[in-house]
Chains A and B, each alone.
Chain A
Amino acid sequence: MDFATFLIQCLNALQYGLLLFLVASGLTLIFGIMGVINLAHGSFYMIGAYMAYALAPIVASTFGGGFFATLAFGLVIAVILGYVLEWAFFSFLYEREHLQQVLMTYGLILVFEELRSLLVGDDVHGVAPPAILSGSLPLGELMTYPVYRLFISAVCLLLALGMYFVFTRTRLGMMIRAGSTNREMVQSLGVDIKFLYRVVFAAGVAIAVFAGMVAAPVSSVYPGMGSSVLIICFVVVVIGGIGSIRGALAAALLIGVVDTFGKVLLPQAAGVLVYVLMALILLWKPDGLFKAG
């Protein structure tokens, strides 16, 4: 591997890591901070990708369209969806055992997959990136790098900074963190914890849906796409330390590096390297890299 190729692979690793953080950040919120094991997280991601595909023509005919209008419209639907789901299902789960949470969220996966099949069908679809971002930058003599991938990286960084700021520097973030440590105490201090959690959950769903919509032009849209990201999302949250946004970002970048260079340098072991990494880190730090609290 010469130096130029090495640099390009570093860029690939960084870009993949940031994409992973984008996908996993909603899970950090719901699983990491609220403590609900949410297997349906992948489904929210899938819903987002399908919205990017299916909503585009509808938005185009009513509001004049555009990728960013679809994005905004999708986010509104996602917040409503998250809010309703929390009210109807998840609000009963906080005090329950993890096994019951797993059971219900697994049921939701089946429901969402079947609905997806009924509403949009089982075909594979492509989503075009917005025109201003559809170009490519030359990279070396032979390769080019799509501008849209760089855009995704920038969005991920912004999201990471935004989440970090809200959680560590604002009153809302403080209440959420306090609520995750001791619900009753926060409630007795006069905070409407039920409403607060509903908002956090809606935000978690919205971020997952947002990730799906932003990733759709790169990943394309296909049945079962949710389950393929679910496991890697849990790996990110577990390596990073449950409840830590900083940790999730570090873990996502670490996985990006290991996966990218693993595929090239150790192709026989590419499938297991990420999990070996997780095992090693958990042996070294059983609570993950940055345990919150």
Chain B
Amino acid sequence: MMQMPDKLPRWLAPLLFTAALAGAFWRAPSPEAAALVPPPAAAPSALPAVFAAEMLPRVAASAHAASLAQLADGRIAAAWFAGSKEGADDVAIWYSVLGRDGWNDARPIANRESTAGGTFAHVRKLGNPVLYTEGSWLHLWYVSVAVGGWAGSSINHSVSTDGGKTWSKPTKLQTSPFANISTLVRTPPLPLADGGLGLPVYHEFIAKHGEWLRLSPTGQILDKVRMPHALRTLQPAVVALDEQRAIALLRDAGPGPGKVQMSATQNGGQSWEEGEALAVPNPNASVALLRLKSGRLLLAGNPQDSREAMLLWLSSDEGKTWQPSRTVESAADGGAEFSYPALLLGRDGRIHLAYTWRRQGIKHAAFSEAWLDGKTP
């Protein structure tokens, strides 16, 4: 073993260690107890039955995994990934805003080169984006892979303060000790009472399970909590029920025909416990979850055996039971895929849904609670 040079006194190393330790204790975060921002009080929606749908701009042969956010000025924004095919070199994160004349020209806001340039690390492919508005800040999280498949993903984060026109250089979230791999994002975060965010993420390497990242108001990771489950689960979609309670609905990652799985927290996300599977089918596909103005919960997903339909369910008892509501789109032509839904409640009470349309594009639908209840526009 190498010895210290004679000229360095032996008390130097413990002294330096003590100083470093004191600094580390000073720097180590000691956040207050976790709490969620409770949802607003339930109120009936006054909107009449409305439904409208349109395609977002087609930018490439393949498109997938949309995310929605409402900008500070009230416009609806969408981000998704598109390229020649999923996982291809040319896949980028695309962004478009819904104006009075419909969705404006989409433009790429992140690609392999910009991500590698911000993180100083090789990037092989990009995947799922998540948009989230926090005051005048528009957050973008998206996954990137350096080596291997999606299980080798890590999460990048970028921010825009001008409604998506310009974006900060991405930074990587450090979420794993093993080459920072296998943490992915798909669904939007929840605001926390301390000004931070709770970001639902998931893990795919060795095991498949949901996770909960607690972020400080400055974006620092304060905690990472597993959503334990006996089955393989992915892509938690989370809604807050009050300050302490939230539920996460998860994709059933198989094997075989599955059900939408549930996890729940009773302490603001500090710990999660496995809940009973819902009586809602899940063909190993992403789901979206939203709390409506009326206090009911809305779930978007697929039928039992395929992604050939985009279906909606409603729950009036905090997610315990679900009733089928509407079929947004379906086609039994074998190649149809209507999947990876994203839901957003607009400030005007309108509900926005974006989903992958046949892997060729992203479709957006806007509707009201009255339409969900069966009334016709």
The yes or no verdict on A and B being binding partners is no
Residues of A near any B CB (own CB < 8 A):
none
